[in-house]
Amino acid sequence: MRIALLSRTHAGAMGVLFGLTLSACLLVAALPRAMQGSFDAALRQSLRAAPAVQADLTVTVAPTRPAEDLHERGQFTTRDDRWREILPPALRPLVVPAGSGAGHMSAKTELTPVQGTGGQTYINLGWLSDMDRRVDWVRGHAPGAPGTMRWEGDSIPVFEVGVVDEAMSDMNLQLDQVKVLGEDHYVAVKIVGAFKAKDPSDRYWSHNQDILHVSRLLPPGKQEFEKHITTLMADPGLAVLDSFGRNLSYNWVLPINAARASALAAPDVDAGITEFARLLTLQSTSSAAPYRLLTGLPKLLDDFLAALTTAQTVMYLVLGGLLAVAIGVIVLAVQLLADRLDGTLALVRARGGSLRQVAGTGAALTAVAVVPAGLAGYALSALVPGPVLPIVHLGPALVVGCAVGFAAARLALTHRTPLHERRGDVTAARPSAKRVTLEVLVVVLALAGAYLLRTRDVTSRGLDPFLLLVPVALTLAAALVTLRCYPYPLRLLVRLTSRGRAAVPFLGLTRAARARSAAVLPVLILLPALAVSVFAAVVSDGIASTQRLASWQTVGAPIRMTSEIEIPADAIERVRRTPGVEQVVPAQTGRVQVGFGAERAEAIAVDLAGWQRLLDGAPISLPAEPAGGAGTPALVSPELRGRGAFEIGWQSRVKVATAGVVDVVPGFYTKGKFLVLPLEALTRPAVNTLLVKGDADPAALAEAVPSARVESQRAVLDAIQSDPLTATVRTTLLVVTVALAGYALVAVIVSLVLGAADRAGALAFLRALGLSDRQARRLTVLEILPMIVMTALAGLGLGLALPAALGPGVDLSSYAGDLPVSAYALDPLTPTALAAGLAAVAALGAYAHTAISRRRSLGAVLRVGDLT
């Protein structure tokens, strides 16, 4: 047959099919690429945000005998080359080349006490392979070769070292000063220079904080802090440095290039780290001092994969629904084209055409529309950045294959016998017992799956097939229930309208109730479309509200200013006078002694009533001001409950009485031991925290109190929402919601067109009997709207129920500031807009249909003998 001629004849149906296929192939090919690209961006951002000491790979060994000591740079370099040589294939692309990035080698001692300090001062020896590239000498000079000196009758080595400049005053050190280190195997250091880091913000220094800053440690049971610093020595010092009598470790840092990380390769990287750690132990020359791998990368990957699993689950749920609905709408368009071809192909079949010829003609004509559209959608998806997943190739192929396959199968089934006649007077066929049993089984299994999904323990990592199948089963069950049950309320309405005098309601509802299953099935595409779009809207709204709640719980106020030292009264006044500030609530926080022992707790002294006024309109609230009693009333955490009245040490001894229990203090404490006191309970409050309400500029507030760190609820919320993974989830949900709403509207329009011929014939008969145009429009609306309304209600109900049905299987806390998303409150605007849009399109379609039918003469619709 002449395919080109048929294409021109049915250009309208071909155009609809082309447009639907193009949009479907573009969405199913582009969205997975965008999703995977955002997954990669999220992983790279998490690796960049993590400290380098956590993200990088560090090989370390602590020698225990002289044969294991390394005394020259070449020994370090040889081992560095060996570590890179045995890297598993999954890790090699991630590790930066030697000598670049933060890669370096080091030797350090730990807990090396200074003689005469009573164990309060520790100066450790350190060596960095790239010291010259990392520091600038601001005083003195760079260290040189070590010397010797006499100490307690023995000759001990003297290392020339440099110290970070801040440690010179902090630890009371001076240039050319000599300090003796150790407890038995003594060495000495001579401080010959002070340095500063060339770039203190470089990730490199995450591995060497002990060199760049003085560490203060409070040993258990002591009141004074220990001070620790690691010095720097030159290469010649390695020849003298040994492990005898000291805690010495050698380290090789292999930095990770975050830009080359891939979410798809994350599980392989995790396995590669385990394999690398195993290979390192095989390189050890002593079981007492094995080579070990130190890294927090597995924890970072585990956290990311946990969030990724949830994102993938939600994404595949909505994308699967989108694909199913898109294919369903395309099938409707194919059915529209097949109906247009019905007369032509019936004539061909009657004239001796084979069934293969008829089916092949329909498939070829469909392919003319869908194959170019599929290729165009697939090509346009290449403009979207992101890795190419198998679904990118398979999705468009599946859409095109379903369209062509349905066209061939539908025409082959319709024209299996020549001159086929279809009975128009048969209203419904009674379903067989097998079919009823199968449908009941589907409904029971769907409900059982939803119950098990909520009650079972979800501990597996990766995509959960059970989690993906249950929503599909629930959608299929809802469709079956809607399909079987919708005629019954309509038949009840038919009985009620049959008692009235108006014929239009009776005729319209009767035609709706007697619609055959084949006529009803196209409209049921609306059910998954509405269910998935409402589900996406509910999840998106739930994430948005929980994100806002998380930002308020993180900060505890519109703006919070915290300082490690007391904020002076004049600085507080400057904050009050800052433009945009409406209210300021001062507070003091600190760590207090509970009782008279070593027990400690966190405490905050604040005016709770003023703080509550400051939070007016926020989604968080504070407990009521504690009532007075025998002592200062205090709210305590659950860990401190049941103690009645007790004393705390905070500036002075304060006797507090438990006036209530509070689980969290927003912005400050969420667990552990803590208590809340009135600010006036302190003899002289040393304010170190300011809670600010208003729209003030954070930079102006920071200028008013230079020692304070300024955090705003708005900035925290922006940080949560700007996370690539979170942004992708919400963007994809929005795109899918809009796309499904569009497909639902198209499904309504196509279903109207599919039944146009039958409806036109019925209206022609009724017009011959005196039906007016107004009555014709009402009759058409009453025929169409019931099924759309029933399907819309079922779809909305299923979409609202899906988040609760999925239960703990979908943990969205990773996208909401680590707060569980449990309150799925839907804005009424979404279901109202969807239902109103579908109803409006159906009504407009009905009016358009009657307007078109009115222009057609009865002779064009009725045949000779139809009225006799």
| Structural domain contains residue 309 | no
Residue 315 is assigned to a structural domain of this protein: no
Interval 693-708: pLDDT, tens: 988 898 899 889 988 8
CA dist list (Å): 381 to 20, 26, 316, 484: 15, 6, 18, 40
pTM for this one? 0.74
In sequence order, the 6+-apart residues with CB closer than 8 A to the CB of 443 are: 477, 480, 481
Mean pLDDT of 239-266: 89
List residues bridging with 689 in a β-sheet: 562, 587
Residue 255 lies in a domain: yes
**In angstroms, what is the C-alpha Rg of the chain?**
38
pLDDT at residue 564 greater than cutoff 80: yes
Average the pLDDT over 12-19 and give the result: 88
**Does 506 lie in the same domain as 417?**
no
pLDDT of residue 142: 92
Task: Quick: pLDDT tens for 417-429.
Answer: 765 555 544 445 5
Same domain? For 585 and 528 the reply is no
Question: Residue 352: which region, alpha, beta or left (left: phi > 0; alpha: psi -120 to 50)?
Answer: left
Q: Are 316 and 463 in contact (CB under 8 A)?
A: yes
In angstroms, how far is the first alpha carbon of the chain from the final one? 38
* Cα gap 98→255, rounded to integer Å: 9
Weakest-pLDDT range from 267-271, 297-301, 714-718, 834-838: 834-838
Give the model's pLDDT for residue 756.
Answer: 67
Q: How confident is the model at residue 868 (pLDDT cuts 50, 70, 90)?
A: very low
76 and 170 share one domain = yes
Asked whether residue 445 carries a pLDDT value surpassing 70, the answer given is yes
Phi and psi for 599 in degrees, rounded to 5?
-70, 135
Question: Which string of b and e fits 519-542 if b means at least 16 CB within 10 Å?
Answer: bbbbbbbbbbbbbbbbbbbbbbbb
* Non-local CB neighbours of 465 within 8 Å, separated by 6+ positions: none
pLDDT, averaged across the chain: 82
Exposed (0-12), middle (13-18) or buried (19+): which is 19, by Cβ within 10 Å? middle
Matching residue, tokens 């589907």:
442
Contact (Cβ atoms closer than 8 angstroms) between residue 557 and residue 614:
yes
The pLDDT tens digits for 468-510 are: 677 878 888 888 888 788 778 877 888 888 777 777 787 777 7
Rounded Cα distance, 458 and 448, in Å = 16
Looking at residue 107, its pLDDT comes to 94
Q: Poorest-confidence range of 103-112, 119-128, 259-268, 744-753?
A: 744-753
Q: Which domain holds residue 135?
A: 57-294
DSSP structural state of residue 629: B
Q: Residue 188 above 70 pLDDT?
A: yes
Same domain for 734 and 836, yes or no, is: yes
Q: How far is CA 307 from CA 127, 313, 461, 577, in A?
A: 40, 10, 10, 44
Phi, psi angle pair for 387, to nearest 5° = -65, 155
Of the CA atoms within 13 Å of residue 273, those in its CB half-sphere come to: 23
Of residues 859 and 617, the one with the higher pLDDT is 617
**Residue 598 located in a structural domain:** yes
Average pLDDT over residues 522-526: 70
Give the integer Cα–Cα distance in Å for 7 and 184.
97
Kindly report which listed range (86-90, 548-552, 643-647, 772-776) carries the lowest average pLDDT score: 772-776
Q: Coil, strand or helix: which one is 135?
A: strand
Residue 58: HSE in the Cβ half-sphere, 13 Å Cα cutoff: 23
Q: Tokens for 493?
A: 């309405």
In a shared domain, residues 416 and 450: no
Last residue of a domain, one of 386, 421, 456: 421
Q: Is the same domain home to 1 and 88?
A: no
Of the candidates 612, 552, 431, 532, the one whose C-alpha atom is nearest the C-alpha of residue 800 is: 532
Final residue of a structural domain among 706, 733, 751: 706
Residue 623: predicted pLDDT: 78
Cα(173)–Cα(187) distance, integer angstroms: 17
Domain limit, last residue, from 686, 706, 726: 706
Q: Does residue 300 lie in a domain region?
A: no
Three-state SS string over 640-704 comes to HCCCCEEEEEECEEEEEEEEEECCCECCCECCCCEEEECHHHCCCCCCCEEEEEECCCHHHHHHH
User: Residue 128: inside a domain, yes or no?
Assistant: yes
Residue 460 is predicted with a pLDDT of: 47
How many Å apart are CA 6 and CA 9, to the nearest integer? 5
Determine the Cα–Cα distance for residues 14 and 219; give it in Å rounded to an integer.
Answer: 80
- Same domain (yes/no): 762, 865: yes
Comparing 151-160, 273-282, 534-543, 621-630, which segment has the lowest mean pLDDT?
621-630
Q: Is the pLDDT of residue 22 over 90?
A: yes
Is residue 304 domain-resident?
Answer: no
The two tokens of residue 305 are: 């994969």
Do residues 761 and 849 make contact, with C-beta atoms less than 8 angstroms apart? no
| Beta-carbon count within 10 A of 95 CB | 20
How many distinct structural domains can be found in the chain? 4
pLDDT at 796: 80
325 lies in some domain = no
| 233 and 90 inside one domain | yes
**What is the spatial distance between Cα 309 and Cα 320, in angstroms, rounded to a whole number?**
16
Percentage, residues of the chain above pLDDT 70? 86
| Cβ pair 675, 637 in contact under 8 A | yes
Give yes or no: residues 175 and 274 share one domain: yes
Same domain (yes/no): 182, 235: yes
Lowest average pLDDT, out of 51-55, 362-366, 823-827, goes to: 823-827
Are the C-beta atoms of residues 688 and 565 closer than 8 Å to each other? yes
Say whether both 481 and 574 belong to one domain: no
As a whole number of angstroms, the distance between CA 204 and CA 255 comes to: 9
SS3 assignment, position 566: coil
pLDDT in tens, 193-246: 999 999 988 889 999 999 998 888 767 656 677 889 999 999 999 999 988 878
- 92 and 160 inside one domain: yes
Q: Is 58 within 8 Å of 292 (Cβ atoms)?
A: no
Confidence at residue 867, expressed as pLDDT on a 0 to 100 scale: 47
Encoded tokens for 254: 């292999």
User: Where does the pLDDT of residue 12 fall: very low under 50, low under 70, confident under 90, or very high at 90 and above?
Assistant: confident
